[in-house]
Each structure stands twice: as C-alpha cells, then as structure tokens.
Structure 1
Amino acid sequence: MNTKSLLIDTATSLFQQKGYKNVGLNEILKACNVTKGALYHHFPNGKEELLITCLQGLNEAITTDIEAIFNRYPSAEDAILSMIDKLVHSFEQNGTIIGYTFSSIVSEMATMSEPVRTACNALYENLQHLYCKKLLTNGYSDESASAMALLLTASIEGAMMLCLTQKSAKPLKTVAALLPSILKVNN
C-alpha cells in the first residue's frame, strides 16, 4: 500500500473510532510509521484536507457497497432490509459499524469548517439519492421517493448512532422491523 493510501485508510479508521478532534496528527503519523513531511507532501493543508479525502473515500465505499446490495434485490424493501441486516451483523461482530459511521464527524465539524460540512453533506445527499433511485424503480412517485429517502437516511443514520451509544443492535433492528409498514404506507 502506498503512503497516501495508508494515511487515508488509517486516518479514516481513527476518525471513525475517536472523532476528528480526538485524533492528533502525531497519532496518525505513528500508526502509519511516516514522517510529518510525508503527510504534508500528500495533504499540504494538513489534517482537515486529510479528513475531507477520508470522507470522499467513505462516500465512494458506501456507494459501491449499497449499489451492490441494491442490485441483488429488485424490491426496495428487500434491498434496504438487506443493507440494514449487514449493518446489524457488522455491529454484532465488531461492536461498531465499520465503514458506515461518520455522523460523529458531522456533529463535531459541520459548524466549524465549510469544506468539511460540504463533504459530509455530499455523503448524506448521496445516500438519499441511492435510496430515492431504488424507490423510483419500485413505482414511487418522485415526491414520495424523495421524502421516503430522507426518512430512510435520517432513520438509519440515527439508528446507527443509537446502536453505538446503547452498545446494542436493537435500534437498527427496530428500524428494520418498522420498515415494511412504512414503505407500504408511502407507496
């Protein structure tokens, strides 16, 4: 793995585990066994630029993962339930939701940095777009699909945060249990 990729992967993991503010540059450098010069060579604007790159990488990884799940299931309900099941499984195996959690970064940084807020917003808009697109293929109107995509994004993201704070997969399981009736009401 090249130095830039190592920095991105390591920083992404540390930011997800500890939050942006609780991870210092020295911790990232030590975990990667690289110099400060190497970091600034790849990220001349430092830690915030690295964070934005991490968020962009998360966006790509989450998109690829969700699209793969959604392509396996013709029904929006089955696809979304499968995605939630994957999140539950990840939480139950690892005690966290690997690769999908970035809400803590949003709450820390969205009001402090416009470039970070923009990168976080792009992640949420992308999630909504993926949900909306799947709902449209299942016969939802544009307006209904857009509204349901917002509800799904808020519900699933909120449930992931609750899983982490409660140390339980129950919030995601509750969303999954309620999802079929919510999807039927709005279609």
Structure 2
Amino acid sequence: MDTKALLVTEATKLFYANGYKSVGLSKIINVTNTSKGSFYHHFPKGKEQLLIACLEKVQQDIVNEIQQHIIKNPTFKDAILSLLADLIQMYDEKGQINGYTFTIMLSEINGVSDEVHEKCGDLYRQIEEVFSIQLQSRGLSLEVAKHQALMLVSLIEGSILQSIMKRSSEPMRILAQHIDQYIGIED
C-alpha cells in the first residue's frame, strides 16, 4: 500500500473511532509511521484535504457494497434486506458499524468547510442515485423514485445512528421488518 493510501485508510479508521476533530495530525502520522513532510507532500492543504480523500474512499466503498447487494439478490427488496442484515450482523458482532455510514465520522460537521459539506452531500446524492435507478427500473417515475431513494437513505442512516445511540440493533431490525411499507418495494 502506498503512503497516500495508507494515510487515507488509517485516518478513516481514526475518524470513525474518534470523530474528525478529535484526531490530531500527530496521531495520524504516528499510526501510519510517516513523517509530517510525507503527510504534507500528499495533502498540502492539511487534515481537511485528507478528510475529503477519506470521504471519497468511503463513498466509493459504500456505493460498491450497495451495488454488490443489488447484483447478488434477485429483487431490490432482497438487496435492501441483505444490506440491513449485514449491518445488523456487523453491529451485533462488533458493537459498531464502520464503512457504511460516514455521519459518525463527521458528528461535528459544522466546524468544517463548504467543500467538506459538498462532499458529504455528493456522497448522499450518489447513494440516492443508485437506489433511484433501481426503483425506476421497477417502473417508478423519476420523481417518485428520487423521493423514495431519499427516504430509503434517510431510513437506513437513521436506523444506523439510532442503533449506535441505543446500543442495540433493534432499530435496524425493525426497519428491515417494515421497509416495504415505507418505500413500496415489493419486488
């Protein structure tokens, strides 16, 4: 793994575990066993530029994971249920959910730049787009598919956050039991 990829991978883990603001540059450099010069070579604008790279990696990973669930399952509903089952299993086994949500990483988002806000918005929009395309392919109009995709992303993200805050996978389990009632995915 090259230095830049190492910095992104390890910083993402640190941001998930501790939040963006709680992780100092010295911690990132220490964990990656790199130098300050090497860090600034790859991220001349500093820690926030690294955060944006982390968000891009998380976005790519989340979208790829969702698409794999869609490919592996015969119906969109089954894909969503499979995704939720993986999230529930991850939470039940590890007591945390890493890699599927980036909100945890950015719990103090108000203190970051417009560029980071835009990147987060892009991430949500891309996930919504994946869901919207699937819903449109099942006969929903563009407008209805976009609305239901937004609701689906909000429900999943909200159930993840509630599970973390309540220290229980119950919110995700309840969502999985009733998902078709909320967004009308029968197949």
Kept after mapping to 2: 8 A contact 1:77/1:180 = yes
Partner of 1:132: 132
Q: How far, CA to CA, are the matches of 2:9 and 2:125 in structure 1?
A: 23
Give me the whole-angstrom Cα distance separating, in 2, the residues matched to 1:144 and 1:136.
8
The residue type paired with residue 11 of structure 1 is: A
- Does the Cα contact within 8 Å between 2:76 and 2:185 map onto a contact in 1? no
Deviation at 1:17, TM superposition (A): 1.3
Amino acid in structure 1 at the alignment position of 2:2: N
Q: For structure 1, which segment, 95-104 or 15-24, has the greater mean C-alpha deviation from structure 2 after superposition?
A: 95-104
Aligned sequence identity (%): 36
C-alpha separation in 1, matches of 2:103 and 2:173: 19
AA at the equivalent of 2:36: K
Q: How far, CA to CA, are the matches of 1:124 and 1:23 in structure 2?
A: 24
The answer to whether the 8 A contact 2:52-2:116 is kept is: yes
In 1, distance between residues paired with 2:22 and 2:111?
Answer: 17
**TM-score, normalised relative to structure 1:** 0.94
- Which residue matches 1:119? 119
CA deviations 1:57-77 (Å, max 9, x no partner) are: 111111111111111223211
CA contact (8 A) 1:132 1:149 kept: yes
Separation in 2, partners of 1:114, 1:98: 24
Residues 73/137 of structure 1: CA separation in 2 closer, same or farther (3 Å cut): farther
Give the CA deviation at 1:90. Answer: 1.1
Distance 1:16 1:93 in 2: 17
Query: Which residue number in structure 1 is paired with residue 38 of structure 2?
Result: 38
Between the aligned partners of 2:132 and 2:53, the Cα distance in structure 1 is 26
Of 79-88 and 138-147, the range deviating more from structure 2 = 138-147
Alpha-carbon offset, residue 93 of structure 1: 1.4
Q: TM-score, normalised by structure 2?
A: 0.94
Residue deviations 1:80-131, cap 9 Å, x none? 1111111111111111112112113444225631010011111100111111
Q: 2:2 — aligned with what?
A: 2
Aligned residues: CA RMSD: 1.7
Runs of 4+ residues deviating >4 angstroms = none
Letter in 2 for 1:139: G
User: What aligned pairs does 1:17-56 form with structure 2 within 5 A after superposition?
Assistant: 17-56=17-56
Given that 2:8 and 2:54 are in contact with CA atoms closer than 8 Å, whether structure 1 keeps it comes out as yes
User: Matched residue pairs, number?
Assistant: 187
Deviations 1:22-51 (A, max 9, x none): 111111111111111110010000100000
Q: How does 1:57-136 map to 2 (within 5 A)?
A: 57-110=57-110, 112-136=112-136
Contact 1:16 1:101 in 2 (8 A): no
Q: Which runs of 5+ in 1 are unaligned?
A: none
CA contact (8 A) 1:110 1:116 kept: no
